[in-house]
């Protein structure tokens, strides 16, 4: 189906309200209990002043992206399909902790993820919801956009510059996969950082439609305005006349400077003497599968143990694995599914041993007609050994496969 949520954090991080003429009112209060904005006049800025403001907030956006890599945070993402009578008929709910390494690679630990009843969430959706914004209004991107100054507004205690934003050239979805922002942004007149946004992603296609998302940011550590709440309630109308109403709510909390407690890296090859049943855990050394009289295992307190607790053998959850694969073959589209034009995303849960070899794969989500093909593709995936606290470890996670109708 259509990638619904994939634009949520993207728009949340760079965004603005679709250009509206005339009067502006706030249709809904956010979780931050924001007050309705009050127009304070055009402020009569010269073109040179406008260009200077745009240049400065774009530079701040670049700093914001870099700063985010130093923070861990919690994300609570809820996406719902709304029926004709206003009832919830499908739901995707995922609560995760995120951390980044010094190269900007993101790692996710899933805390809560019941079986989704809303099946239109893709891998790209998850990437964007995790804080990766593919069309940020950074310094390197501003030359691709037109910024129209709309005046000033006062929201709560903040005086804000308001800009309508649109790409200079309307992108052709047949020629580019890059996504652009169309909407409105609010920029603090003192910090010159984006504090609110409302807008959507373009280009759209006959199968991909994107909702308008409104996002609020809060100042973290007195420096950066990070997104803390994003909301959408929109009807998506497709070229064939079908209509889909989606409601989204994403909260970002618990921003903390620092890396995760578990760091996952890759190494060139596994040690030759590595046993297939070796397990690892922070503060615990490895132990052969067959009991040996020595050496004994030492805990972090320095006391000796003669056995390993079952919890120490539990594999580590790495979340989404697509970006960690060294080889990720594409699935073969099943003939039966092709006959019925079946499409959608399949999520496959895989377990890796200490050498990076996949030892089991099971489809947990997605159209039934596509699951077997996804599982077979997952079994052919290749990974390097994953390290937990410097030791090759058993791990598990999710590989996602997106099938387009053929």
Top mean-pLDDT range of 6-15, 18-27, 155-164:
155-164
Higher pLDDT, 202 or 19: 202
pLDDT value of position 292 = 37
How many residues make up the chain in this entry?
406
Contact yes or no for 217/30 (Cβ under 8 A): no
| pLDDT at position 280 | 39
* Percentage of residues in the chain having pLDDT higher than 90: 30
User: Of 158-162, 278-282, 313-317, which one has max mean pLDDT?
Assistant: 158-162
Q: Are 197 and 57 in contact (CB under 8 A)?
A: no
Q: What is the pTM of this model?
A: 0.57
Question: CA 242 → CA 38, 42, 200, 301, 339, distances in Å?
Answer: 37, 41, 20, 63, 22
Confidence of residue 67 (pLDDT cuts 50, 70, 90): confident
DSSP state of 164: E
Out of 18-32, 50-64, 141-155, 235-249, pick the least confident: 18-32
Q: Which residues of 260-293 are buried (b: 16+ CB within 10 A; e: fewer)?
A: eebebeeeeeeeeeeeeebbbbeebbbbeeeeee
Interval 85-136: pLDDT, tens:
899 999 999 898 888 766 656 677 888 888 888 877 665 555 555 544 544 6
Q: What is the pLDDT of residues 179-224, one digit of tens each?
A: 788 999 999 999 999 999 999 888 888 878 888 989 899 988 888 8
What distance in Å separates the CA atoms of residue 262 and residue 340, rounded to the nearest whole number?
Answer: 44
């Amino acid at each position: 189906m259509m990638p619904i949520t994939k634009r949520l954090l993207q728009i949340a991080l760079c965004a603005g309200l679709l250009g509206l003429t005339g009067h502006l009112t706030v249709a809904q209060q956010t979780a931050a209990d924001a007050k309705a904005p009050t127009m304070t006049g055009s402020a009569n800025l010269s073109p040179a002043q406008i260009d200077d403001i745009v240049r400065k907030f774009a530079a701040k956006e670049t700093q914001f992206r870099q700063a985010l890599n130093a923070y861990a945070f919690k994300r609570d993402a809820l996406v719902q399909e709304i029926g004709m009578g206003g009832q919830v008929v499908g739901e995707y709910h995922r609560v995760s902790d995120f951390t980044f390494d010094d190269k900007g690679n993101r790692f996710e630990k899933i805390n809560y993820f019941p079986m989704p009843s809303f099946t239109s969430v893709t891998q790209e959706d998850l990437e964007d919801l995790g804080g990766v914004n593919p069309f940020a209004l950074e310094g390197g991107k501003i030359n691709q956009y037109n910024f129209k100054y709309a005046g000033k507004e006062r929201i709560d205690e903040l005086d804000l510059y308001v800009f309508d934003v649109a790409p200079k050239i309307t992108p052709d979805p047949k020629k580019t996969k890059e996504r652009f922002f169309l909407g409105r942004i609010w920029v603090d007149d003192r910090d010159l950082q984006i504090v609110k946004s409302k807008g959507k992603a373009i280009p759209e296609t006959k199968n991909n439609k994107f909702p308008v998302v409104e996002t609020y940011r809060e100042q973290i550590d007195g420096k950066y305005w990070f997104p803390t709440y994003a909301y959408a309630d929109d009807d998506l109308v497709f070229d064939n006349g079908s209509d889909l109403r989606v409601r989204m709510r994403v909260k970002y909390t618990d921003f903390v400077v620092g890396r995760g407690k578990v760091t996952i890296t890759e190494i060139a090859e596994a040690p030759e003497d590595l046993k297939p049943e070796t397990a690892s855990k922070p503060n615990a050394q490895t132990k052969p599968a067959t009991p040996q009289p020595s050496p004994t295992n030492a805990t972090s307190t320095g006391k000796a143990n003669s056995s390993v607790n079952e919890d120490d053998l539990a594999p580590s959850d790495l979340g989404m694995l697509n970006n960690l694969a060294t080889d990720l073959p594409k699935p073969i589209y099943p003939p039966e599914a092709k006959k019925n034009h079946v499409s959608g995303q399949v999520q496959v849960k895989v377990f890796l041993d200490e050498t990076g070899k996949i030892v089991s794969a099971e489809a947990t989500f997605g159209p039934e007609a596509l699951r077997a093909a996804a599982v077979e593709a997952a079994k052919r995936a290749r990974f390097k050994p994953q390290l937990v606290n410097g030791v090759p470890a058993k791990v598990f996670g999710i590989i996602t496969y997106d099938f387009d109708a053929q």
